[in-house]
Structure 1
Amino acid sequence: MNIVTPFPSININTANVYTETARRDNQLREVIPAPASSSASNTETKAQSDAEKAKLPGSSDGATYNATGKIADEKSVQQRDGNPENPEGTEQESEAIEKKESEQEELQLEQEQQQITELKARDTEVRIHEQAHASVGGQYAGSPSYEYQRGPDGTNYAVGGEVQIDVSEIPGDPQATIDKMQTVR
């Protein structure tokens, strides 16, 4: 069985009726002049070779920086510029820098481990505390909800929490309301 659906009879206008309007608008608009070529001023720098760039003061592309953003060692900068004072000393200095960096990494790892230990202890304390609220509140207490902090290891640790407690009165039964409030308290 063949099902043929007829196309709707809609007139599609293929003529561009807005051509005249667009042409008239373009003629009425202000003509923007072409930009004039400008000459380089004294403050602008011209293209330079790498050797010329290295001679410029303040050019420290290859300098080694420490964690504070300062140049780590002057001798490596001087050596890069072509003025090595003591080639044997730079090797000792690089070893000293590597030693300092490894000490900093170890210190950072120790701080992260200490922070993780503190977060774990706080997580345990918060969970026990909120669970105590939930158990004492009995049927009037909701389940605990926690506030989390992400540790350096990427794990979320509970650092705060709360338990919602129903403190509404029981309509028509004042003694039941008193018993409920004593439980809540």
Structure 2
Amino acid sequence: MLTAGCGGSGGDTSMTAKPPSIARFDDGIDILRRLGGEAAMAPLTPSRGLPASLAQYSGAVLIDAGDLPTIVGRLEVDVDFTAAGQVSGTADLFQDLSGGAYSGTLSATGGQITSETSLGVETVDLALDLDGNLARGGGDDVTYDLSYTGTFFGAAAQYLSGNLRGTALSDGNPVGVTGQAELSR
């Protein structure tokens, strides 16, 4: 396995993600389905296909925390494929199925890009932490401590598709969290 904070020599660096509009729960689900389908049709990104500069990814994230309402929101991540290897971002605009809006932001930090070859197939992944507090109008304050692992798809890393795992703390009670995030640039 090779751990890298720098990029390859190829790729179209002119593409930038347009932040999605998530006014309703269904908007987030539509984005997840569309980007997930597009990523599934694209080839795995080889390390030589990574951009050699900053790439901005935008899409949706779904968080399912047991008895808490399932929520979707917008996720934006900046990945610096140069030697600096910085990754940052935010998740916001969360909605639940009943139409409840959530205030607060989850911050994306601690990103790491890795490349691994197994059975002759190379995958390039991004791992990061997604942490913060979200509150629904009635004062339901939930603290999230999540880890995201995504794989780059497309000849020039146009898509990032992956899963979330972690915990949510609500009223002092920890709850297991799963989820997914689909992004494009």
Q: Could you say which structure has the higher helix fraction? A: 1
Relative contact order (C-alpha < 8 Å, sep 6+): which is higher?
A: 2
Q: TM-score, normalised by structure 2?
A: 0.19
* Structure exhibiting the larger radius of gyration computed from Cα positions: 1
Q: Could you say which structure has the higher strand fraction? A: 2
Q: TM-score, normalised by structure 1?
A: 0.19
